[in-house]
Chains A and B, each alone.
Chain A
Amino acid sequence: MTPMIDVVFLLLIFFVCASIGQIPESTLPTPLAAGSIEAADPIEAPKPLGEVWIRLARRGAGEGAVTTAEINNQLYEDWGRLRGTLRELASVAPEIPVILDIGKSVPVGDFVDIFDTCRSAGFDDIQFATDSQPPA
C-alpha cells in the first residue's frame, strides 16, 4: 500500500499546485429584455421620475484616446466623481432606469466598469441603448 499512497499524495499535491495559479473567472450578470427590441416597453406604471442616460464615447486617436462619460449631457472627466454621482443617484431613486449609450469604439473594460458601478450602486433597471434595427 505504501507506494500507492505515495503516488496518490504526489498527484494530490500536483493538482493543488496547478490550481493555485488559476484565477477563477466570475460572471457579471447582464439580464436583457426579452423579445423584439422595438416592441420592448421598458417603462411601466408607476412611471419613474426620469431616466439616466450615460453616454460613453471615445475621444482622441491612438495611444492618447480616452473614454469620456456624460450623464444626461453633463460631461464627467473624473470617473471617481462619476461613480460618486451614480451612487448618490441610486441611493435616492434606485428605480430610475439607467440607459447606457455606448459608442462603438469604447473598450469593453470601460463599459463593463461603468455597468458594474451602476449595478453595485443599486440601480434596479440598467439597459443598453441601441440604434433602431431595419425590419427583417
Chain B
Amino acid sequence: MKAPSMTRSRSVSFNVTSLIDIVFLLIIFFLVASHVVRSEAVEPVDLPKISDPAGDEEESALRIVVTVMADRSMWVGGREVLLPQVEQLILSASQESLNQVEVRIRADHAATYLEIEPILLACAQFGVTRVGFAVLPKSS
C-alpha cells in the first residue's frame, strides 16, 4: 500500500494589517496628545541662563511648577494664581506627601526677588526642601 508522502495542509494566517494600522494610530495619537499637553502647560518665559546646568533630577510624584512672568504674574498649571493660592498649593501638597513634594520655579530673568522670596519662604515654612529654578544652558 502506498502511503501519501505529503499531506496537503491548509495554511492558516491572520491578516494583521488592520491591527498594525490601529496600533500605529494609537501610538501617533498619544504622541501628538502628549506633545500638545506639554507645550500648552508651559508659559513662555525668558529663563535665566547659567554656565553648567546640572542634569535633570528624577521627577518627584508631586511637582508644583510655579511660573513667574516678567510682569510679576504667577501661573500654576496654566492658570493665573495669586501668592496665597501658591502657598495653599504648597501647603496641601506637603500635607499629602511631604517627602515627595518638589517645587520648581520657572521665573523670567527679568522678574525680581520680590516675587520669588515669598515662594521660597512658603516652601521652607511648610517643610518642602526640594526646590529648583528652571534654567537654560548659557551658549558659549
Residues of B within 8 A of A108 (CB): 48, 68, 107-113, 116, 133
Q: List B26-82 residues whose CB lies under 8 Å from chain A.
A: 28, 31, 35, 47-57, 68
Beyond A27-B133, A32-B129, whether A120 also contacts B112 by CB under 8 A is: no
Residues of A within 8 A of B95 (CB): none
**Contact status B54-A27, CB under 8 Å:** yes
Question: Once the chains are docked, how many angstroms separate the CA of A111 from the CA of B110?
Answer: 11
Question: Once the chains are docked, how many angstroms separate the CA of A9 from the CA of B52?
Answer: 36
**Contact status A120-B51, CB under 8 Å:** yes
| Chain A residue nearest in CB terms to B111 | A108
Query: A61 to nearest B CB, angstroms?
Result: 14
Chain B, interface residues (CB within 8 Å), range: 35 or more
Determine whether A30 belongs to the interface, using a CB cutoff of 8 Å to chain B: yes
Residues of B within 8 A of A104 (CB): 112-114, 117
Beyond A105-B112, A107-B112, whether A116 also contacts B129 by CB under 8 A is: no
- Neighbour of B135 across the interface among A15, A103, A112, CB < 8 A: A112
Determine whether B93 belongs to the interface, using a CB cutoff of 8 Å to chain A: no
Which of A18-26, A70-78, A84-92 interfaces with chain B? A18-26
